[in-house]
Every structure is written in structure tokens, then in C-alpha cells.
Structure 1
Amino acid sequence: MTMWNTEGTRRGVVQAAALCAALLLPTWGFAQAAYPTKPVKVVVGYAAGGAVDAVARTIGQALSASLGQAFIVENKPGAGTNIAVKSVIAAEADGHTLLMAANALAANMALYQPAPFDAERDLVPVSLVGRVPVVLAANAQTPYANVAALLRAAKDKPGSISFASPGNGSTPHMALELFERTAGIQLQHVPYRGGSPAITDVIGGQVPLIAVNALEVQPHVKSGKLRVLAVLSPNRSAIFPDAPTMAESGFPGFEASVWYGLVAPAATPKAVVTKLHAEVQKALQTKEVRERMTQVGGEVIPGSSEMFAALIKAERQRYEKLVREANIQPD
């Protein structure tokens, strides 16, 4: 019978174990340190040129510079971003396929039945990036100079005033549904397939109001065709410094923003997620990224991956309640 009771045998076992660890650890460490080993694809569930696309390209450029590999934005619009989300969930979980997600990631689990995915199970949050406020704007020729004027008109003739949005279940649509309930008014929703056609009809006078993200209305406000009645952010927007917040317009605490953040397939190695998170946090501190976010009407939001996970969960719960109460259906 072999006995493990001699000092020499014990010493031999310990040395053998240490040798195995020494052989394995450098390989594991090298694999993690080498990430990324090829170009990284950042999937966006919206067409090129919009706010999410602009944010993804801004962060991608910063990560390319710091990590030495190209971060390539791939636009996959369709099905309310579900096509893009599902493609990332199905991708190899090695950190080389990421999703620049926005509010739809949380909202779609309530909007679509059966739910197309479970973001909290199928994806891992990497880092929140920032947010851009939703704005309530009007055709400049309308009599609605501010939120107070709109409220008076809406209460005089409930349901007679319509507003355009980028689509059923979009963040701006949800924001105005919340506002209607908060203000005790009834507006008529006119959904479009995207912000651009909605803006075109508001400028043309077919619809008097629009709810959309700040970036998309900026050029039309500058040209005098649209008037911002309120920004739905906690603070005034850098690109619309003269426009009051909804809180300043009589609704303290009311806020609705489009948030953006990177997520990855759920099985992505923790070391890769940690490295990506750290690099995004560094990028958010740079002058270039902060200036670019300001240009698109937003702000950066540094924070932990856990904070981002908590936001996704809270947003899902908020949208579930709103979708149920307002009976909102996807396009």
C-alpha cells in the first residue's frame, strides 16, 4: 500500500502541482492579455447616421486606438432591433462581437410576446456609455410656444392634438405616453418607421408635434423649422441650452433619455469583459469622446458593469408596466 506520509513525497506532490500551475497560468494569462486578437464587430440595430450609430463609432474609434485592433460598426436594422440583438446572442462568446444597445434592449422584452430574448440571461453588460435626452418639439408655425401652451390646448380638446414618434414602442413614444399620464392629458400618437420620416411630416405640417432624440432635431431647430418645447433630461441640453427641461416646465422629477451601452454574449470570459469595461471607462474620460457625445446632444455616464445591469433590469420593469397599462403594440 502506498502511503502519503513522508516529507519527500509531500514535497514532490507540491512541486508537481506548482509546476502544472506554472505551465498553465502563462498560457491563460497570455490568452486574456492578447485580446483582441482580430477586428471586433460592434453591431448596431439601427441605420447608419443616427444617434446610436454615432455613439458606437465614437467608442469604436477610441477602443481601436487603445487596443490596437479595428472596431467595426455593423448596422443591422429591423424588427425593432431584435435582429441585431439575436445575432449577437448567437455569436461566438469571445469578445469579438459586441452590441451597442439602447433602451429597446429592455423595452422589447415587454413589447414582443413571446419575448424574443432575455437580455439578463442571454447577454452580459460590459459598460454603460451615456445618454441623449428625448425632446418634445413642435412645428415652428404652431401656437405651442411652450409646454404650458400645449397643456392648455390639450385639456381644452382632449385627443385632438397628435404627436409623431419614430415608432410604436420606441423610447420617444414611451416617454410621451408617460408624460400624458403624468400631465393628465390625452394626445394622439402617430407612429413612423424612424425619426427622419416623422420629422419630415412635422416640418411639412402634417403633424404638429414630435418626440424624438435630441440629435435628430438639432439641424431643424437651428434652421427655425422646429421649436423645442422641452428636453426630457434632468438638466438642460448642451445643444439646446435655451430649452427648458420638463422639470422646469412644471413636472419635477420627470425624465426620459435614450441610454447607450455595450453588451456581449453571456458566455464571454469575465476577464475579457473586465478588460473591455476598463477600456471603455478610460475612453469616457477623454476629451475627444466627451466632446463627441456633447455634439450629439448627450453626456457620458461612467460606472460599473453592475450599475448597467441594474439599469437594464429597472428599465425592463418600467416598460413592462407601461406597455401593459397603455396597451402598446410593436410596429
Structure 2
Amino acid sequence: MFIATLCLSRRLSMALVAAALAGAFPLLASAQPYPAKPVKVVVGYSAGGAVDAVARTVGQAMSVSMGQTFVVDNKPGAGTNIAVKSVIAAEPDGYTLMMAANALAANMALYQPAPFDAERDLVAVSLIGRVPVVIAANASAPYASIQQLIAAARAKPGSISFASPGNGSTPHMAVEFFKRAAGISLLHIPYRGGSQALTDVIGGQLPLVAVNALEVQPHVKSGKLKVLAVLSTNRSAIFPEVPTIAESGFPGFEASVWYGLVAPAATPKPIVTRLHAEVQKALQTKEVRDRMTAVGGEVLPGSAEMFAALIRSERQRYEKLVREANIKPD
């Protein structure tokens, strides 16, 4: 009886071990080194814009470094909220990322109730770089510098209008910050995108436009527009002759379009750490640096914590501006 019981116990133990091993095989098979398949980088804007260009450039550098394809997935709409929500809802496995910009911080104040909480729902992977917002004027406008614009605006408050890509867009917010710093009043005319805004300013319907440096570059080259100021701490590589807003009498003022990579909040720490390291490596390559220079910007190496702090501070800054200026999204 004892021997029979012992044999039964052994057979039962072996069966349990076999079952455990069988259950572990799928896990062992899936535990391949990251990344084991293509990585999707969501962009909340249409293809061809600055954010899309940065995502593709950085993605290509990371593809070479990590030996896996990085595919850009453009999801425009709702001020990038559609794209952000799709990333928040994605599996937190490192295979869905987002190339985010200022809207990630601004939209939490612009849209009520807030569509998401970036600090809770996403994890900052790495800051990529920034491109300055510029204030440009029609070639025949009666001011050739930001000081002349300020003087004209003070002489006739509210009489000078400026176009932007839309209510709550980064260029719109940048000019709102500038208006407060300069103590002037300008009339905002929102458009649905920068293209039509630029067309109307070139055509003379409006005297001013606020856009990122890349969008205005070809029109400045053709002589149809002139840049009055670059709203950044450093001069732009594509407009080296144009003074920064700090050089124009506003030290410490800065309003740029920044770019950074984020992932779903529950993405494993080792994957986030690996991605951060790979982004830092990509930012050192000539291809990425040249591309950022070509769009009028600069790379910004740094820690993931630095990027998280930027998102937090930008959120607070935009919340105050939206409240005080009563800005509503399109």
C-alpha cells in the first residue's frame, strides 16, 4: 500500500511539473529581447509637418541602432487628443510610443473636462529638441523689428491683428505670452492650420502671423514675409540674422515648440530606460542634428526626469494662461 501510494504521489508530482513547464513555454517564447517586432510611433499631426519630420528622423536613427523598424502612424484630429488617447489605451509593452509636442501639456487646460492626465497616463521617455515660434510680418508691413511692432501696438491698442494655426495652438499661446510680457494688445485671428494663415498674411489680408520657424522659412526666402523675432533663447540656425526675443528687450522669455517621446504609463521600466538611452544615442548622430537644424531647431539631450519636469511646468504655465486669457479650443 505504501509503495502504491508513493508511486501515485510521484506521478502526480511529475504531472504538476509537466503542466507548469507547459504553461511556461509560451512565456519563455514571448520573453525575447526588446524590441522583437516593429515599434509604432504615433504622431498627432498629418504627414509632412515638423513633428512628423522629427519622428521619422529619430525613428530612422533608432531603427538602425536597435535593429527593428520604427513606423510612424499619423493620427491627426481633436488637437492631437485622438493620438494621445490611442497611446494611453495601447498595450504598455514598448511597441506603441508617441512623438508629443506642446499640445500634450496645453490640452489638459484647453479641454474641459481634461481629456487625459499626461503625468498619470503616460511616462516621459526622452525630450528630443525644440523649434522656436517666430512672429513674421507681410513684406510690406510698416514695422521691420519687434520694437517697431510694440510701438505701433501701443499707439493703437487692439488695432493690429495676427494669424495663428488655431485657438490654443502653440504659436497662439506663444503670442499670448508675449503680449503679456510686452504689455500690448493684439487681435488674434485663428485659422485651421498654418498654411491658410500664411497665405492670407502673404496676401495682405493680415499683417502678422505666428508659426514655427520651419513653416515660415520658404516665404522668408522668397521675400514675401519678414521675421520680426524668434521667440527662443538662442538664435535660429535658419534665421541667424534675426534677434531673439530676449535680445529684443525681454530677457528670460522663451516660447518654442518642443518634441519628446512618451509611452503608456505602465510600460516596464527596463524598456523605458532602453528607449531613453537609444534616443540619447540618436541625438548624437549627424543625421538627427542636421535634420533638427534644417527645421530651425536644436536637439536637447537630457534625462527622462528632465522631460517629465518640462511637461509638468508647461502644464502649469498653460493652465494659468488659458484661465487668464479665457482661451477656448477650436
Q: Structure 1 runs of 4+ off > 2 angstroms?
A: none
For 1:242 and 1:212, locate their aligned partners in 2 and report how far apart those are by CA, in whole Å: 18
Segments of structure 1 that go 5 or more residues without pairing to the other structure are 1-23
For 1:192 and 1:88, locate their aligned partners in 2 and report how far apart those are by CA, in whole Å: 27
For 2:197 and 2:56, locate their aligned partners in 1 and report how far apart those are by CA, in whole Å: 25
Q: What is the Cα deviation at residue 36 of structure 1? A: 1.0
For 1:255 and 1:62, locate their aligned partners in 2 and report how far apart those are by CA, in whole Å: 29
Give the equivalent residue in structure 2 for 1:201.
Answer: 200
For 1:214 and 1:31, locate their aligned partners in 2 and report how far apart those are by CA, in whole Å: 44
Deviations 1:23-46 (A, max 9, x none): x9xx88x937x1111111110001
Give the equivalent residue in structure 2 for 1:255.
Answer: 254
Q: Is 1:245 matched with 2:215?
A: no
For 2:173 and 2:89, locate their aligned partners in 1 and report how far apart those are by CA, in whole Å: 29
Give the equivalent residue in structure 2 for 1:99.
Answer: 98
User: What code does the residue aligned with 1:192 have?
Assistant: Y
Q: What is the Cα deviation at residue 129 of structure 1? A: 0.3
User: What code does the residue aligned with 2:262 have?
Assistant: V
User: What code does the residue aligned with 2:297 have?
Assistant: G
Q: Match of 2:254, SS? A: coil
Give the equivalent residue in structure 2 for 1:65.
Answer: 64
Segments of structure 2 that go 5 or more residues without pairing to the other structure are 1-23
Give the equivalent residue in structure 2 for 1:319.
Answer: 318
For 1:61 and 1:129, locate their aligned partners in 2 and report how far apart those are by CA, in whole Å: 14
Deviations 1:214-235 (A, max 9, x none): 0100111111111000001101
Give the equivalent residue in structure 2 for 1:297.
Answer: 296
Q: Could you state the TM-score of these two structures normalised by the residue count of structure 1? A: 0.90
Q: What is the Cα deviation at residue 152 of structure 1? A: 1.3
Q: What is the Cα deviation at residue 313 of structure 1? A: 0.3
Q: Is 1:226 matched with 2:199?
A: no
Q: What is the Cα deviation at residue 319 of structure 1? A: 0.4
Give the equivalent residue in structure 1 for 2:124.
Answer: 125
For 1:300 and 1:192, locate their aligned partners in 2 and report how far apart those are by CA, in whole Å: 29
Deviations 1:256-302 (A, max 9, x none): 00000000001111111110000000000111111110001000000
Q: What is the Cα deviation at residue 69 of structure 1? A: 1.2
Give the equivalent residue in structure 1 for 2:287.
Answer: 288
Q: What is the Cα deviation at residue 144 of structure 1? A: 1.3
Aligned residues: 306
Q: What is the Cα deviation at residue 251 of structure 1? A: 1.1
Q: Could you state the TM-score of these two structures normalised by the residue count of structure 2? A: 0.90
Give the equivalent residue in structure 2 for 1:185.
Answer: 184
Deviations 1:37-72 (A, max 9, x none): 111111000111111011000101001111111111
For 1:246 and 1:313, locate their aligned partners in 2 and report how far apart those are by CA, in whole Å: 24
Give the equivalent residue in structure 2 for 1:31.
Answer: 31
For 1:71 and 1:225, locate their aligned partners in 2 and report how far apart those are by CA, in whole Å: 38
For 1:282 and 1:39, locate their aligned partners in 2 and report how far apart those are by CA, in whole Å: 19
Give the equivalent residue in structure 2 for 1:161.
Answer: 160
User: What code does the residue aligned with 1:31 have?
Assistant: A
Superposition pairs of residues 273-284 of structure 1, within 5 angstroms = 273-284=272-283
For 1:319 and 1:148, locate their aligned partners in 2 and report how far apart those are by CA, in whole Å: 26
For 1:41 and 1:219, locate their aligned partners in 2 and report how far apart those are by CA, in whole Å: 31
CA RMSD of aligned residues (A): 1.5
User: What code does the residue aligned with 1:59 have?
Assistant: V
Give the equivalent residue in structure 1 for 2:5.
Answer: none
Q: What is the Cα deviation at residue 250 of structure 1? A: 1.2
For 2:127 and 2:323, locate their aligned partners in 1 and report how far apart those are by CA, in whole Å: 27
For 1:80 and 1:181, locate their aligned partners in 2 and report how far apart those are by CA, in whole Å: 24
Q: Is 1:144 matched with 2:143?
A: yes
Q: Match of 1:126, SS? A: strand
For 1:163 and 1:66, locate their aligned partners in 2 and report how far apart those are by CA, in whole Å: 44
